[in-house]
A and B are shown apart, each in its own frame.
Chain A
Amino acid sequence: MIEIHELSKTYQDKKRGKIEALRKVSFTCRPGEVFGLLGPNGAGKTTALRIISTALRPTGGSGKVMGYDLTSQSARVRENIGFLSSNTGLYGRLTPREMLTYFGRLFRMEAPQIRERIAELAEIFQMGDFLDRACDKLSTGMRQKVNVARTVFHSPPVMVFDEPTTGLDVLTNRTIIQFIRQCREQQRTVLFSTHVMAEVQKLCDEVAIIHEGQMLFRGTVGEIQHRYGEDLDEAFAQMIEAAA
């Protein structure tokens, strides 16, 4: 469960002065639901996700993840979240097994539990072949699988994906989409940002469209189509243009 209430983020930029990256954004994602955060580049999607994952602190508003406050209980929030972005890197000199073990330990898992979980995830993501190969030697698809495995390693109830499919090939893309569906089936809360409308259509139970830090729309995909027509890309463009 993610509950966001009037979340704002402003920061000072040396060249551009005060920047309002997020202006009073509110939404709620429930377990068993996939919530899509849509918006063009620079809309504030990543900022919102980073605040929810506690990497950034909000300058206004509040938020809770699984009932834990984003600012005062950030450590508990982190334990309950799995965060993945498209450009998350791996430790090139470690093998996937070592890397997963490392994060398992950081999440206070015990050795036998870690071993079991690695076996389980290797099965799910078909990582058996490259589990003991240095991450540097893996293909992009393999890397993303390792990344996803790392994200869910501690079985967090909340998953946050920041444009998880950017730059991936069709097959890996499919794996990720399937994985997000699985998360929904497992009654996890899934929040993900994207600007690919096809993914929105395939996955999202509810969407929020943000532009220049402001929320333009919140509702189901059906509601968008009802109001702006069948073509989601067109609907998206119309909303942005109307706001400008």
Chain B
Amino acid sequence: MLRGIRIIFRKELVDTLRDRKTLIFMLLMPTLAVPLLMLGLNHLIHSIKEKQAVKVVRIAADQQTHQAYRRLVHQWFLQTKVAAGLRLARSPVLQALLRPETSQALGQIPEAIFRDPAAYERWTRATVSQFREEADLEAKPSPGPIVELSDEVRQQLVDYYRVTVRGLALLEFVDPANLAPAPRDFDAEVIPQQLRALPYAAEAAAAIKAKLIQGYLAIPTDLLGLEQDHNQTAEITFLYDSTMAQSAEAWQRISFVTDRAADNLVRDRLALAGLGDEFLEPVVLKEGTDLATESEFVMSRVGGVLPYIIIIFAFLGGMYPAIDLGAGEKERNTLETLILSPASRTQIAVGKFLVILTTALIAALMGVVSIAVSFKYIIAPDEFVSGLDFHISPGTAVLIALLSIPPAAAFSGMFLAISIYARSFKEAQNYIAPLQFVVILPAMAAIIPDLEMNWRMAMIPLVNVSVLSKDFLKGDIHWDYYAVTLASCLALAGLCIAYAVRQFQKEEVLFRS
């Protein structure tokens, strides 16, 4: 019995592995596609972000608005800890964060600049070119180890960059009086009702739509005395178009500056009233009380994706070899010869099943590796999972391999049965294609947040794999559930193999064409 299975397995495996088309389309392409897609997407997002971050944004603002806006920036700069933070620029910590030329520039700022808004602005403009190279501190921490840099200092630098550079130096102000009149066919309805009375609103709106400017800023007061008069609220208006990337960028810059300035003004008012920051924060929920490490947290999220990848890749990896080994053999008229050999139908079915299982497993593991590599080298250096230790230990690798067995077995059985039943390659493809949709749903079960493993769940093939992998990756390893999961998937595979053997014995299936 076993000898026959081994002979068939060996031959079919060689035959399958020589099929370049299968190898390329089913194994190599998906494996390469994931990191390439991520790389492309990442690159695209970064390049857009970088370009936007260093682009000069044109904003219409009258003389008074212009002055008031500058005052906001300068006030923010003088009154926050940023000035102190910048003095830190001489420290080795900041030098690690910033490129040498930039940190040098920051280190050489004369103290006087901080007290003279005009001098400060001149200096800001002069350092813009260096910042352009830095592009975006958030997106691209400069090379070198970022060791002792505290979050506070880092945040200050980001604030500094966004307020002074993006919010001031990379801003060009245009007098709205110089804007061309709105064209006759311009629909003034696009301007919100409450802004129609604003001078030059129509001209500015038309210019924004025509991409001549990116926004229209209007500050009706000079903002002087705002910090002394507690009862005053200054209304700032900014007209923009959120569907235009550059205009949205302008909105972000302006709102960042005004938000920061407003924060400072609140502090001033509190100080004046003899109140501290506590006045605004009667209750504070302490941070850092989460027991889960950052890595665990991300794993619990990624854990939902991983079974999906395993299931989809196992599906793709098993599909074509299965079709080739059953329906393909019929189509090439080799099946009759095989069934006339002394090998029993069960040996043939099991031998073929094992080959499909092998390719499905290889595909699933390659999928996991490709995802892991993509995470580690493409996404992880980026900000949103930075600091995450995405490391697959040998133990985890074994667990993932173990998790791939149940779905791969279930698919291999199903595919074999379908493939032997089908008349031709094409017919088999037609039967298997809709199965993809049936499979995707249980594969996504792990994404449902509150789905917990229990005995009943462990008995549902594929859903159990999905839920179990999430637990496994979090470190909740229940071997009893794994055993039930494996058993349920193997039972499904067994049923399918039995069905395939029966098909093999049916004359109308073997000889229908």
* Residue from B7, B334, B342 having most chain A Cβ neighbours under 10 A: B342
Among residues of B, the one whose C-beta sits closest to the C-beta of A93 is B18
Q: Does A219 contact B (CB under 8 A)?
A: no
Q: Is the CB of B332 within 8 A of A89?
A: yes
Among residues of B, the one whose C-beta sits closest to the C-beta of A103 is B341
Among residues of A, the one whose C-beta sits closest to the C-beta of B20 is A93
Convert B9-31 into 0s and 1s, putting 1 for each residue whose CB lies closer than 8 angstroms to a CB of A. Answer: 00100110011000000000000
In whole angstroms, how far apart are the Cα atoms of A86 and B18 in the complex?
Answer: 26
Q: Is the CB of B14 within 8 A of A98?
A: yes
Interface size on B, residues (CB 8 A): 23
Interface stretch of the complex, out of A31-39, A77-85, A175-183, A208-216:
A77-85
Known contacts A102-B11, A106-B4, A106-B7; is-contact A55 B336 (Cβ 8 Å):
yes
* Residue from B8, B341, B511 having most chain A Cβ neighbours under 10 A: B341
Q: Does B212 contact A (CB under 8 A)?
A: no
Known contacts A55-B336, A56-B507, A91-B334; is-contact A106 B14 (Cβ 8 Å):
no
Q: Does B343 contact A (CB under 8 A)?
A: yes
Convert A116-153 into 0s and 1s, putting 1 for each residue whose CB lies closer than 8 angstroms to a CB of B. Answer: 00000000000000000000000000000000001000
In whole angstroms, how far apart are the Cα atoms of A11 and B508 in the complex?
Answer: 9
Contacts of A75 in B (CB 8 A): 342, 344
In whole angstroms, how far apart are the Cα atoms of A54 and B345 in the complex?
Answer: 13
Neighbour of A88 across the interface among B7, B336, B510, CB < 8 A: B336
Contacts of A106 in B (CB 8 A): 4, 7-8, 341-343
Q: Does A94 contact B (CB under 8 A)?
A: yes
Q: State how many angstroms separate the Cβ of A42 from the closest Cβ of chain B.
A: 14
Q: Does B194 contact A (CB under 8 A)?
A: no
Known contacts A79-B342, A98-B14, A106-B342; is-contact A89 B7 (Cβ 8 Å):
no
Q: Does A232 contact B (CB under 8 A)?
A: no
Q: Does A174 contact B (CB under 8 A)?
A: no
In whole angstroms, how far apart are the Cα atoms of A103 and B339 in the complex?
Answer: 11
Convert A82-118 into 0s and 1s, putting 1 for each residue whose CB lies closer than 8 angstroms to a CB of B. Answer: 0101011111111000100011011110000000000
Contacts of B341 in A (CB 8 A): 78, 103, 106-107
Q: Is the CB of B342 within 8 A of A88?
A: no
Q: Does B337 contact A (CB under 8 A)?
A: yes
Known contacts A11-B508, A93-B19, A94-B14; is-contact A85 B342 (Cβ 8 Å):
no
Interface size on A, residues (CB 8 A): 29
Contacts of B510 in A (CB 8 A): 55
In whole angstroms, how far apart are the Cα atoms of A78 and B336 in the complex?
Answer: 12
Q: State how many angstroms separate the Cβ of A63 from the closest Cβ of chain B.
A: 15
In whole angstroms, how far apart are the Cα atoms of A98 and B7 in the complex?
Answer: 12
In whole angstroms, how far apart are the Cα atoms of A243 and B336 in the complex?
Answer: 32
Convert B333-370 into 0s and 1s, putting 1 for each residue whose CB lies closer than 8 angstroms to a CB of A. Answer: 11011011111100000000000000000000000000
Contacts of A194 in B (CB 8 A): none
Convert B475-513 into 0s and 1s, putting 1 for each residue whose CB lies closer than 8 angstroms to a CB of A. Answer: 000000000000000000000000000000001101100
A residues whose Cβ falls under 8 Å from a Cβ of B: 11, 50, 53-57, 75, 78-79, 81, 83, 85, 87-94, 98, 102-103, 105-108, 150
Q: Provide a sorted-by-A list of 21 A–B residue pairs whose CB atoms are within 8 angstroms.
A: A55-B336, A55-B339, A55-B340, A55-B510, A56-B511, A83-B336, A83-B340, A89-B332, A89-B333, A89-B334, A91-B332, A92-B332, A93-B14, A93-B15, A93-B19, A94-B18, A98-B14, A106-B7, A107-B341, A107-B342, A108-B342
B residues whose Cβ falls under 8 Å from a Cβ of A: 4, 7-8, 11, 14-15, 18-19, 332-334, 336-337, 339-344, 507-508, 510-511
- Nearest 9 interchain pairs by C-beta: A89-B333, A89-B332, A93-B18, A106-B341, A89-B334, A105-B7, A102-B11, A87-B333, A106-B343
